[in-house]
Chains A and B, each alone.
Chain A
Amino acid sequence: MNKILKKTRLAENVTEYVISAPDAARHAHPGQFVILRVDEEGERVPFTICDYDSQAGTITILVQEVGYSTLKLARVPEGGYIADFVGPLGNPTDLSEFQNVLLVGGGIGTAVIYPQAKALKAKGRPSDVIIGARNASLLMYEKEFASAAKELRFITDDGSSGVKGFVTDELKRMAAEKKYDCVFAVGPLPMMRAVCALTKELGIKTVVSMNSIMVDGTGMCGCCRLTVGGVTKYACVDGPEFDGHLIDWDEAINRGKTYREQEAAHKCRLTGEVK
């Protein structure tokens, strides 16, 4: 059982959880993820770590309430417990060989690039950051990035904050102004695909964090498999980060839809909504 120490509403349907997990916190690195199970009947769901404090023994994750398990988690109060919490899983991000990194976060993926921004700043090589969201109310971690990034830009689909447009528009502008040796992008699959299509054209190496469907998260089922450079890889043990220019995006997006119907039914069961 792991205690939820703090719950903070960051945006509509998005909540930040600070969870007590001393062992995981002690060994966590940027880019890694955890798997949790809300209760005894729950499913195992992966979340990327968006902050950790080894002293306090805590791991912070950001949860967007989109389905059965995330809605169920939202009902656990601050000070309450979740049944299972395991991590850190996956390989840490490796941005060590790059001098000028541009971090791109879309939607909830924004939280995932925060540990990288912090780590790069600590190494004396602060990164530029683009944060994109559908609208102003969905922007998050503005303060945190303001202190961690060298240059920070916001962009929203509807122009309600920052510039109007998509992260790729901003990326194009920034790449025209400065030379980057690596773009690190995290967000919904279509956004990462669009970023990769653009950076391939621009000839900038791009690393993405894949959010495949997972069960165990330790490399024993192959549920999270994807094709990278023509070879089958497991996101949980070979990734979750990969060279974005080598990913079979159509396949990854298709696999992400495997349980769409069942998930909708599960959610309805919880909310009483009728499909």
Chain B
Amino acid sequence: MAFEKKPRNKMPEQEAAVRARNFNEVALGYSAETAKAEAARCLHCKNSPCMQGCPVSVNIPEFLRAAAAGDFDKAGEIIGKTSSLPAICGRVCPQENQCEKMCLRAKVDSPVAIGNTERFIGDYMLAHRKEREKAPRTGKRVAVIGSGPAGLTCAAELSNHGVEVTVFEAFHKAGGVLVYGIPEFRLPKSLVQAEIDKLCGGGVEIKLNTVAGRTVPIEELAEKYDAVFIGSGAGLPMFMNIPGENLNGVYSANEYLTRINLMKAYLPDSATPVQLGKRVAVIGAGNVAMDAARTALRMGAESVKIIYRRGREEMPARAEEIHHAEQEGIEFCLLSNPVSFQGENGWVKSTRCVKMALGEPDASGRRRPEPVAGSEFDIETDMVIVSLGTRPNPLIKNSFAALQTSPKGTIVVDEETMRTNIDNIYAGGDAVTGAATVILAMGAGRKASKAILERLDIK
């Protein structure tokens, strides 16, 4: 049978020229009518391939069915069975590589906007908050290290099953990368706080300003609690180790974004200072690079260039983010690799790059960039933001030698249960995989919570 073509409902957005100068959310969200209409585009295929594309297997067709009928409470309940943070996932998941990639509607016209609809439901749930019924207490206690997506998801799941959960967070605010990394214009911080408050309302205690391995030894947690989950992330930024990298004005993306997002350096009255670059170069082309570049623009830069050693096709950032960045006026300096930074009075003044050409595919399957001899050129820059990814923080492994880690510093776990080499200690998220996505971290947190519940004999 032939299906009627009904194009995907567009997400309303702030005008590029306007939003490039403010920190308000770029995507404005669906109205109830649009959400219903978009949900009604679901074809309810056999086998629900979309669900296989979702790392936490949200029952997508069922929540869309409820949403299409206008029963948003029910839609929220269905999502809530497998996902604790829909308002966040709806915004930051790379749906085009997950649920929406598998959507068969693509063969008719375009995939159902599952993420946009989930976001609507998530926002609806926060606005119409209902106290969740508390599960009967089991008397079991679990410690969760880190309050990022992995830790929060694990904590929520355990708490929903009557486990007393204490989350240990090093920062003065909970949320991990959701508060220090992803900018306000993609993920409003009030929304992250609302999701966390909802979680705490369910009986999760969050201990801020507590560095596991320093303020409380991990051994002590393993002794005092029935189980421990480590979701400490991969926060240690990588640098290139090229001359001039420690000149003033050269930031890691983590430092730049932390100053602006967590410490609110984008507000004029902020106690935390940040440099205001006029000509900014961002090294790298992942999602964090896009975030840093778009943030620098909003901080008043005259020009922002993304410098990337491979080509357009190879850029690891989401297509939507690259598109947004381009619309806002970010320039792309592709097939170019920095070789040094030149300074004046200790401040960075220019970035020397070499042109690159793509050779044979390497182990990652991407064509290996090779420098073109004699092709050096200088870009005038008064600020550089290095965004080449992160590694797991050595603090956990250095303070707890018994924990097995890989040569890359990631925690080694059993893939089925997320259990580490120590009996009652589990781990998940970037601490295990190295820098990955929010939703994968949530999936890992969920998987670990299942194994912990099983271990504690709670069904």
Contact = CB atoms under 8 A, between A and B. Distances in A.
B255 A222 contact: yes
A165 interface: no
A225 interface: yes
A69 B214 contact: no
Interface stretch (A98-106, A130-138, A171-179, A249-257): A249-257
B346 A216 contact: no
Interface in A66-87: 68-69, 83-87
Interface string A202-244: 0000000000000110111111011100001010010000000
What is the interface of chain A mostly: helix, strand, loop, or mixed? mixed
Given A221-B252, A222-B254, A232-B239, A43 B215 contact: no
B171 A23 contact: no
B209 A218 contact: no
Contact of A83 (B172, B272, B398): B172
B275 to A, nearest CB: 7
Given A220-B393, A222-B255, A232-B241, A69 B271 contact: yes
Given A86-B215, A219-B394, A237-B393, A255 B269 contact: no
A219 B236 contact: yes
Contacts of A262: 273
Which of B211, B245, B270 has the most CB atoms of chain A within a 10 A radius of its CB?
Answer: B211
B319 interface: no
Interface residues of A, number: 41
Interface centre among A84, A87, A215, A257 (most CB of B within 10 A): A215
B395 interface: yes
A266 B263 CA distance: 15
B216 to A, nearest CB: 6
* Size bracket of the B interface: 35 or more
B209 A86 contact: yes
B258 interface: yes
A266 to B, nearest CB: 7
Interface in A3-36: 23-24, 27
A266 B269 CA distance: 9
Contact of A258 (B172, B236, B248): B248
A232 B394 contact: no
B316 interface: no
Given A86-B210, A254-B248, A221 B237 contact: yes
A65 B345 CA distance: 28
Given A84-B209, A86-B209, A237-B395, A221 B255 contact: yes
Interface string A42-67: 11100000000000000000000000
Nearest to B236: A219
A157 interface: no
Interface centre among A89, A222, A223, A254 (most CB of B within 10 A): A222
A77 B260 CA distance: 30
Interface string B249-276: 1011011001100011000011111010
B246 interface: yes
A257 B248 contact: yes
B396 to A, nearest CB: 10
B86 interface: no
B259 A216 contact: no
Given A24-B215, A27-B216, A43-B263, A221 B275 contact: no
Contacts of A201: none
B266 to A, nearest CB: 13
17 contacts: A41-B270, A41-B271, A43-B271, A44-B172, A86-B170, A88-B214, A89-B214, A215-B263, A215-B272, A216-B170, A219-B235, A219-B236, A219-B394, A220-B390, A225-B246, A255-B346, A257-B248
Interface of B: 170-172, 208-211, 214-217, 235-237, 239, 241, 245-249, 251-252, 254-255, 258-259, 263-264, 269-273, 275, 346, 390, 393-395, 398
- Listed from nearest, the 6 A-B pairs whose CB atoms lie closest are A220-B235, A221-B255, A254-B346, A262-B273, A86-B209, A84-B172
